[in-house]
Amino acid sequence: MPDRLRVFSGSSNPELAQEIADRLYLPIGSITINKFSNENIKVKINESVRGKDVFVVQTSCPPVSDNVMELLIMLHAFKSASAGRITAVLPYFPYVRSDKKDEPRISISARLMADLLATAGADRVLTMDLHADQIQGFFNMPADQLLALPILCKYFEQKKMEDLVVVAGDVGRAKLNRRYAERLNAPLAILDKRREDDSEKAEVVSVIGDVEGKNALMFDDEILTGGSLMELIRALKEKGAKEIYAGITHGILAGQAVERIKESPVKELVLTNTVPVPKEKRIDKIKVLSVAELFAEVIKRIHHSESISTIFAIEK
C-alpha cells in the first residue's frame, strides 16, 4: 500500500479501526487524545501527514457528544497539519434519526452533523446504512453509504434455512427488506407498526403477508432498547412463525435491550461491529460480524480513485 495512505482512530471504536488498518497492511496512525479535567479535548498528531490521504475512523456510540467533538477536533488537526485529503469514516453516523422536521421548532440534527464535518475539515464521508437515504443529500462533499446487506445475507445464506420469509418491521422499511428478500430468494411480509410518541416502543396492529409455519428473518438498520423487537416477535409468534432471526447493522443495545433479547424467543440476533458490542452484552443469542474487510476494500478503492459502486450493487 502506498505510503500516502494513513488510517487513524478516535476513541469510539479502536478495535474496528485497527482491524481495518490490518486488512490494509498498514500500522494504525499515531495520535494522542487527552481529555482535561475541564472536559476539554486535545488532539496531537504524532507523525507528519502533509499531503497524505487520511482516513479517520470514529463511530457514534456513548458518550456520543464527546465522540462527535473529538472527531471534529481530529479533523481540524489534520486540516491544520496540511493533510492532502481527509475522509471521515463514520460506520454509524451521529444523530442519524434526526433526518427531517416532523415537529415544529426542532433541529434537523443529521444535517447539522454534515455541516460540522465540512467546517472541521472533512473532504469526504464514508458511512454505512443510514437511517434514511435522504441524509446523503445533506452533504456538500462526496458521501459514500455502504450497505451491510452482503455481509448479513452471506451469513444467513450459509444457514440454508428452509421456509424462509423476510419480514419488514414497518411499511417504511419495506423497500430495504425487499432487497434482502430478493437477495435471499424469499417472500416478503410487512408488519404494520405504529409509534405514538418518542418512547421507542411501537405497537404492531397487523401483518401483511404469510408467516405461519415459516422461519422469519427481520432486517433493520439499528436496534436501540429492543422495545420494538419485542413487539415484532410477539406479532410473528401470534401469526404462527417458527424460528425468528434478526439481522441488524448497528447494535446500540441501550437500556434493557440485552435482557429483553435474552428473555425473548428470538433464535439469533446478528449485528455488525459498526458500534462496539462489549463482551458482557454478547450473550449466546447475539452474533457479531465484522465490517472491517468491506471498509478496508472501499478505503483502498477511494485511495486509488477506483469505482466502489460494484461493492454494494445488488443483483436482481
Query: Whole-angstrom Cα distance, residue 90 to residue 104?
Result: 29
Q: Are residues 186 and 236 in the same domain?
A: yes
Q: Are residues 285 and 303 in the same domain?
A: no
Calculate the CA dihedral of residues 200, 201, 205, 206 and round it to 10 degrees: 70
Same domain, 264 and 253: yes
Residues 142 and 160 in one domain: no
137 and 61 share one domain: yes
Query: Model confidence over 237-276: pLDDT tens digits?
Result: 888 999 999 999 999 999 999 999 999 999 999 999 999 9
Q: How far is CA 207 from CA 3, 168, 172, 201, 212, in A?
A: 55, 10, 14, 17, 11
Quick check: 202 pLDDT over 70?
Answer: no
* More confident position, 311 or 275: 275
**Which residue matches cell numbers 464514508?**
126
For 231-242, what is the mean pLDDT? 86
If pLDDT is split at 50, 70 and 90, which confidence band does 314 have?
very low
Residues 264 and 299 in one domain: no
Alpha-carbon dihedral of residues 301, 305, 311, 315, nearest 10 degrees? Answer: -160
Positions annotated as catalytic residues are 193
pLDDT for 201: 55
Same domain, 15 and 109: yes
Question: What CA–CA distances, in Å, run from 153 to 147, 186, 273?
Answer: 11, 12, 16
Predicted pLDDT of residue 205: 67
Say whether both 104 and 15 belong to one domain. Answer: yes
Looking at the DSSP assignment, which residues form a beta bridge with residue 268? 245
Instruction: Based on the fold, state whether residues 129 and 175 are members of the same structural domain.
Output: no
* Domain CATH for 96: 3.40.50.2020
- Mean pLDDT for the stretch of residues 8-27: 98
Q: How far apart are CA 166 and CA 184, in angstroms?
A: 9
Asked if 126 and 92 touch (Cβ cutoff 8 Å), the reply is no
Domain holding 132, by residue range, is 5-146+293-312
> What's the mean per-residue pLDDT of the chain?
92
- pLDDT at residue 204 greater than cutoff 90: no
Number of domains in the chain: 2
In terms of domains, do 141 and 260 share one? no
- Model confidence at 3, pLDDT cuts 50, 70, 90, reads confident
Nearest to 234 by CA among 256, 201, 258: 201
- The edge-to-edge listing of strands for the beta sheet with 188-194 is 203-208, 188-194, 164-168, 215-223, 244-251, 268-272, 286-289
In angstroms, the CA 129 to CA 136 distance is: 11
One domain, residues 155 and 110? no
Grid coordinates representing 176 are 430495504
Tens of pLDDT, residues 210-225: 999 999 999 999 999 9
Task: Give the per-residue SS3 of 245-261.
Answer: EEEEEEECCCCCHHHHH
The structure's pTM equals 0.92
Share of the chain above pLDDT 90, in %: 81
DSSP-assigned letter for residue 28: P
Same domain, 127 and 227: no
Average confidence (pLDDT) over 109-122: 97
Mean pLDDT of 71-95: 98
**DSSP-derived 3-state class of residue 186:** coil
- pLDDT bin (cut points 50, 70, 90) of residue 315 is very low
Label residue 316 by pLDDT band (50, 70, 90): very low
pLDDT of residue 197: 57
Instruction: Let me know how long the chain is.
Output: 316
Q: Note the helical H segments in 44-136.
A: 64-80, 109-120
Q: What gap in Å lies between CA 37 and CA 53, rounded to an integer?
A: 33
